[in-house]
Amino acid sequence: MYVKVNENVPVKESYFRNIFITKYNLGFGSPRTDVCSTCLQLTEKIKACSDKDVKANLVIQRRVHSLISKAFFRLLREQDEGIEIFSFDCQKNQVLSRIPDQQAYYSRQF
């Protein structure tokens, strides 16, 4: 019905794509990797901080957090013969905001 009345006013897909990207922060691609919420929070606090002492403390906190996470993943890499591991490819998920935060990255599965 709309096409019959307004057949001279075609709207291209690029028009809607531009609105979704600029107004709603929705992307049509997926982030390359996820980022830890704590790492992201500390990085943003470091960028916004102007006090050198507080900034140094935040850098130390981020470094300690990074070392703890590396130790954790090193433990995960250890192989045990009695454990079976299943891997699922969840590449085709619902499009959400382009945020590299861990919670948003994995909530794309819903």
Sign of CA dihedral 5, 9, 13, 17: negative
**Which of 14-23, 35-44, 65-74, 85-94 is predicted least confidently?**
85-94
**pLDDT at residue number 84:** 84
Q: Is residue 40 one of the residues assigned to a domain?
A: yes
Residues 38-72 have pLDDT tens digits of 998 999 999 999 999 999 999 999 999 999 999 99
Is residue 27 in some structural domain? Answer: yes
Is residue 66 one of the residues assigned to a domain?
yes
In a domain, 25, yes or no: yes
Is residue 24 in a domain?
yes
**Domain membership flag for residue 82:** no
What is the C-alpha R_g of the chain?
22
User: What pLDDT sits at residue 28?
Assistant: 67
Q: List Cβ neighbours of 8 (8 Å cut-off, separation of 6 or more).
A: none
Name the range with the highest mean pLDDT among 18-27, 29-38, 73-82, 96-105.
73-82
**Angle between the N-to-C axes of helices 37-48 and 52-77, in degrees from 0 to 180, rounded to the nearest 10:** 160
Pair 26, 96: CB distance under 8 Å = yes
Per the structure, how many domains does the chain have? Answer: 1
- Domain range holding 26? 2-77+93-107
Global pTM reads 0.50
Given a contact cutoff of 8 angstroms between Cβ atoms, the answer to whether 103 and 25 are in contact is no
